[in-house]
């Protein structure tokens, strides 16, 4: 945005190189006005959370450059954060989850998505799993959580049935692999020593999920318009799992343990019953339905 170029989207993001921009140019007196216009245009294209995140990243970088005495001014002064109303629809309905399992996708995706939903774990944590971190007999795996702490995630029979086929005869290395050999320079920890393939990246995993869920997210759309549609994000599987647990009456201590949140406040956005749960609640208390029973 500082150089006036649009950010790449979709497949173009992979391997995209940022334009060269001299840091000293940030002190250009004309930049704040130009930047404000570019930020407004960006806000029209993206959701408020994305725009606010990008603004926060830019300000942190500018603050660091100022501390190095490379620049003096801050061209983002005057650009306000966009109001981001809370999203009440992040949890997928149970019929949407069922439709997801019916998609014809590769074994890797089936296993990854199942594990995310059944464990309610974060996508980046699951992608960091190695084969040697798994305890299949106990349906659990050892992960490195935020802050570097070692924690456990637990899954159910759906994941347990798929894992042996995904692992095959491998005994170590990344659990979820790319389809190709790892390129030169890939860190050793991210390369399977038995196949030579690389660890699946979060960006690629997100792209695959988004592309495969476009028609599920837009059930009234035509398949001919799929390129113009937006699918779901991986985070919605974690959100959905915790919301469905709450709807089924799971206690707050168990939800905290399952989500691995430190406070109840952090859990609040997940423990909000969805539309289907509210509809069931109302229907179950309908006097006509009670008389019929």
The alpha carbon of 88 is separated from its chain's Cα centroid by a whole number of angstroms, namely 17
In the prediction, which pLDDT does 264 show?
Answer: 78
What is the Cα–Cα distance from 100 to 12, expressed in whole angstroms?
26
Q: Is 140 helix (H, G, I), strand (E, B) or coil?
A: strand
State the Rg of the chain over Cα.
23
What is the Cα–Cα distance from 67 to 61, expressed in whole angstroms?
10
In the prediction, which pLDDT does 233 show?
Answer: 93
CB 54 within 8 A of CB 1: yes
Residues with Cβ < 8 Å from 76, sequence gap 6 or more?
A: 32, 35, 39, 55, 58, 59, 62
CB 120 within 8 A of CB 242: yes
> What DSSP element (H or E) covers 212?
helix 202-212
What is the Cα–Cα distance from 234 to 207, expressed in whole angstroms?
9
pLDDT in tens, the chain (293 residues): 777 677 776 667 767 888 888 888 888 888 888 888 888 877 777 777 778 888 888 899 999 999 999 999 898 888 888 876 655 557 898 899 999 999 999 999 999 999 999 999 999 999 999 999 999 999 999 998 777 788 999 999 999 999 999 999 999 999 999 999 999 999 999 999 999 999 999 999 999 999 999 999 999 988 888 888 889 999 999 999 999 998 888 888 888 888 888 777 777 777 666 667 677 767 777 777 666 66
What is the Cα–Cα distance from 279 to 171, expressed in whole angstroms?
47
In the prediction, which pLDDT does 155 show?
Answer: 96
- Measured from the Cβ of residue 75, the count of other Cβ atoms closer than 10 Å reads 23
Burial of 14: CB neighbours in 10 Å, binned 0-12, 13-18, 19+? exposed
CB 194 within 8 A of CB 173: yes
Crossing angle for the helix pair 252-259 and 235-247, to the nearest 10 degrees: 160
Q: Is 222 helix (H, G, I), strand (E, B) or coil?
A: coil
CB 186 within 8 A of CB 177: no
């Amino acid at each position: 945005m500082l150089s006036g170029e649009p950010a790449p989207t979709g497949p173009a993001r992979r391997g995209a190189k940022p334009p060269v921009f001299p840091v000293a140019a940030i002190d250009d007196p004309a930049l704040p006005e130009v930047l404000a216009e570019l930020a407004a245009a960006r806000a029209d294209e993206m959701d408020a959370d994305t725009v606010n995140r990008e603004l926060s990243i830019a300000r942190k970088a500018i603050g660091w450059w100022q501390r190095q005495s490379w620049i003096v001014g801050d061209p983002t002064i005057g650009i306000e954060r966009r109001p981001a109303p809370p999203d009440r629809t992040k949890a997928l309905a149970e019929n949407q989850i069922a439709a997801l399992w019916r998609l014809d996708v590769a074994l890797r995706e089936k296993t990854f998505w199942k594990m995310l939903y059944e464990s309610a774990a974060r996508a980046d944590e699951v992608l960091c799993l190695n084969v040697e971190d798994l305890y299949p007999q106990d349906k659990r795996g050892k992960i490195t959580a935020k802050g570097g702490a070692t924690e456990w995630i637990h899954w159910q029979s759906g994941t347990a049935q798929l894992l042996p086929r995904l692992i095959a005869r491998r005994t170590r290395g990344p659990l979820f692999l790319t389809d190709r050999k790892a390129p030169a320079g890939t860190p050793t920890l991210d390369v399977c020593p038995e196949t030579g393939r690389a660890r699946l990246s979060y960006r690629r995993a997100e792209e695959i999920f988004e592309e495969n869920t476009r028609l599920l997210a837009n059930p009234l759309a035509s398949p001919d318009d799929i390129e113009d549609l937006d699918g779901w994000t991986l985070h919605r599987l974690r959100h959905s799992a915790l919301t469905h647990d709450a709807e089924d009456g799971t206690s707050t201590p168990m939800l905290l343990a399952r989500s691995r949140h430190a406070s109840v406040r952090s859990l609040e956005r997940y423990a909000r019953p969805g539309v289907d749960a509210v509809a069931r609640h109302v229907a179950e208390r309908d006097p006509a339905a009670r008389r019929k029973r």
